[in-house]
Structure 1
């Protein structure tokens, strides 16, 4: 991560027509010779006050006063920081960007990427547990709660084994070292020596961002005793107050109105009823 050159920013703006980008999120109609209008995606309204100017390549809402260029729109709609929005649009347009690499940010960026890789592998491991021979108890619990296989697959649920350090061993087998696993909040270091899995014997809910990257996990106990939920600690890639469970699924639901429910199981219950536009806070 570093400073993105002005030339790259200009190239990203040039390569992403604002009408095309906004139209992926908002239905736009031409109501004047200059601008397109639609319902604002940033606040509730019944009369369209959200405008897009093809000529000026900007958007503006007369209701909530949000406006700016295509980068600002992606920042708002995808909840991204400025550099992340630029990278998002660069990927969309299939172009590369130039960044000057400050040593501090370069190291942090590399650590974040390694943490993302560890979290992705952890999600695969937990899902493999749920589908495997050791996941019978977890599958029975889900069936009892009315959660079908297709539904738990949609949300990427998994299972952490109650004994041993299966995740730690899995990550080592995938070539992931201890430091990224620690940075991702997946393992803990023993006081004496060695490491152990942070999650054990729990139904696992992956927390993802709008790009579908796994950021953290929520672990639900299936029996009485002990805390009902254990959530990942805050890490290089996860800050509790900035994320919601169910974001990728809600983003694909085709509606800009989402239900904010109490917990993970409530999100699944609404999805089972045909409503994928539900999200839940994290613990």
Structure 2
């Protein structure tokens, strides 16, 4: 992490990033009613525009698929990046130099990130130019030997670092960069020598195609750096545990196909993309870890365990099996299904393409098997299954694997498969797995003996997090509640002090009531009106509700009279419910038994009717 983004800079980015300009670079927008702009939604297929952008409020919302948010969340969704990455993307777009603070509150150098990204981009262009020059012949020969032509080199931006060791530094200093900036960018060493020398280079980009760093491959035997692959050192923009090579080319395909293929090297990514496997990515100079998993999950963008898949390619040797076991330990980071593709001959994707053609590489991915099955078979293979004690030991070793499967619908099948591998009775295997589940349960959880029909519930799927129910915008019974809140969100200045006498109890739907309570708690302070509402009651349902209300068209120009009509109608409905309750209670009371109580209830009913009559005179305008 580069640190926390300065709050003032964040506010400046929000202010300068006009949502209609940002969205308009991805979606063709035209003027609609009520000050909104409409277009075809970029997040789902549609023929009739249901995607609305409201520049005055800074929100977008699709009435077809429900996606919505502000300009930052739009960039997050469209580019499949984190919040910080979206802010940095917008900051670069509007020319804001972000300041960062570390955990201790120390500010990082203003503008350094922009300078590093600019230096990286110029370095990528320099290296690419060197590859096609006379000095780049060794690099071209290496690529040709791996089956990559000039078009492939251009597609992936491949470059070549000269052997002289000073060329890049001199080139960038002539462009105005200082020695300190080039060192902090990881392009030049403190002794003045270029970081990369005599190597083929791959630019490593983020989802927005900004160059974060480079991966370099050794091609000369006398290379002073012993490692075959060398990566940019950690910088303000390059964190090897947070980046994936090929992400800039694969991100859209991953989101569209709900599939990501993870390979081990830069040339493997190239081979996959050139063979039609255009969802391939690779970790850069480090093992695939938790941050990589979370990055892919954002790209897949699904909360359904069956809604996508992540396919890992491993060698069939011991190292490949160890890598698969490591991925299995982190598999809970994926909501998608996780698979493994293993080439029996031991060829990596690049060699497979060279020796057997592009179809063989596509078939490799097509032969994927579930990660659980791959790991389970490898665990079982380590025991002597010809002995009773060996089979029991293998069962106990494999039981935790089955018990950790998230998708309960798969458990029965894997139990039968494990029983077949071991040559044991399926019921015996099922009982042992259940015992494993009980042993792994937390001590504070209530234990119960599994019943005969509990096989599919073995993994213990997590309980859903409680949240507000989503209101139906078409529910005519709640039109006054929604219309009133729409005005409050869009035109709070049209309401008088005390919100025209409205109270939280006037709202029947829990989400509408929670939103009004957030309005009461928002008050005055820094930030925009809608931002203060959301900060008062953080909830994903409430956030989407505010966004949809902010972009929904109003029937006429908001005025104080219009607001009084809406709030009066809502209060009339609340009074009508009170009157109905009072009448019911009055009917159940015998005046002969308690005349004073009866008289009080009758007077209360008369007063409520009077209030309703007065409010009805106001609630005559909006056709909600």
- Answer yes or no: same fold by TM over 0.5: yes
| CA 1:83–1:223: 2 relative to 1, 3 Å | closer
Structure 1 residues 223-262: aligned runs within 5 Å:
223=220, 226-251=226-251, 253=253, 256-257=256-257, 258-262=260-264
Residues in 1 aligned to 2:133 and 2:234: alpha-carbon distance in whole angstroms: 30
Q: Which has the higher helix share?
A: 2
Corresponding residue of 1:273: 275
C-alpha deviations, 1:114-151, integer Å up to 9, x for none? Answer: 11121112112211211111111111111111101011
Structure 1 residues 79-94: aligned runs within 5 Å:
79-82=80-83, 84-85=85-86, 88=89
* 8 Å Cα contact 2:13/2:91 also seen in 1: no
Report how far residue 25 of structure 1 moved: 4.7
Asked if residue 164 in structure 1 is aligned to residue 165 in structure 2, the reply is yes
Report how far residue 271 of structure 1 moved: 2.2
* 8 Å Cα contact 1:203/1:220 also seen in 2: yes
Report how far residue 29 of structure 1 moved: 3.8
Residues in 1 aligned to 2:236 and 2:22: alpha-carbon distance in whole angstroms: 30
Asked if residue 120 in structure 1 is aligned to residue 121 in structure 2, the reply is yes
Task: Flag structure 1 segments of 5+ consecutive residues without an equivalent.
Answer: 37-51
C-alpha deviations, 1:22-65, integer Å up to 9, x for none? Answer: 9675333489xxx97xxxxxxxxxxxxxxx898994479x9xxx
Which of 215, 218, 222 does residue 215 from structure 2 map onto? 218
| CA 1:165–1:24: 2 relative to 1, 3 Å | farther
| CA 1:106–1:28: 2 relative to 1, 3 Å | farther
Residues in 1 aligned to 2:276 and 2:216: alpha-carbon distance in whole angstroms: 24
Answer with 1 or 2: which has the greater Rg: 2
For residue 123 of structure 2, give the secondary structure of its aligned residue in structure 1: helix
Corresponding residue of 1:196: 193
Residues in 2 aligned to 1:14 and 1:163: alpha-carbon distance in whole angstroms: 48
For residue 146 of structure 1, give the secondary structure of its aligned residue in structure 2: coil
Residues in 2 aligned to 1:15 and 1:174: alpha-carbon distance in whole angstroms: 31
* 8 Å Cα contact 1:204/1:219 also seen in 2: yes
Report how far residue 78 of structure 1 moved: 2.5
* 8 Å Cα contact 1:4/1:83 also seen in 2: no
| CA 1:246–1:103: 2 relative to 1, 3 Å | closer
- RMSD over aligned Cα atoms: 4.0
* 8 Å Cα contact 1:9/1:86 also seen in 2: no
Give the structure-1-normalised TM-score: 0.72
Residues in 2 aligned to 1:214 and 1:161: alpha-carbon distance in whole angstroms: 20
Structure 1 residues 123-202: aligned runs within 5 Å:
123-190=124-191, 195-202=192-199
* 8 Å Cα contact 1:67/1:73 also seen in 2: no
Residues in 2 aligned to 1:11 and 1:158: alpha-carbon distance in whole angstroms: 34
Corresponding residue of 2:9: 3
* 8 Å Cα contact 1:112/1:236 also seen in 2: yes
Q: Which has the higher strand share?
A: 1
Residues in 1 aligned to 2:197 and 2:110: alpha-carbon distance in whole angstroms: 29
For residue 230 of structure 1, give the secondary structure of its aligned residue in structure 2: strand
Residues in 1 aligned to 2:130 and 2:161: alpha-carbon distance in whole angstroms: 7
Q: Greater relative contact order (Cα 8 A, min sep 6): structure 1 or 2? A: 1
| CA 1:180–1:208: 2 relative to 1, 3 Å | same
Residues in 2 aligned to 1:116 and 1:182: alpha-carbon distance in whole angstroms: 13
For residue 108 of structure 1, give the secondary structure of its aligned residue in structure 2: coil
Larger displacement relative to structure 2 (162-171 or 179-188): 162-171
Residues in 1 aligned to 2:238 and 2:264: alpha-carbon distance in whole angstroms: 20
Corresponding residue of 2:111: 110
* 8 Å Cα contact 2:202/2:266 also seen in 1: yes
Residues in 2 aligned to 1:114 and 1:210: alpha-carbon distance in whole angstroms: 19
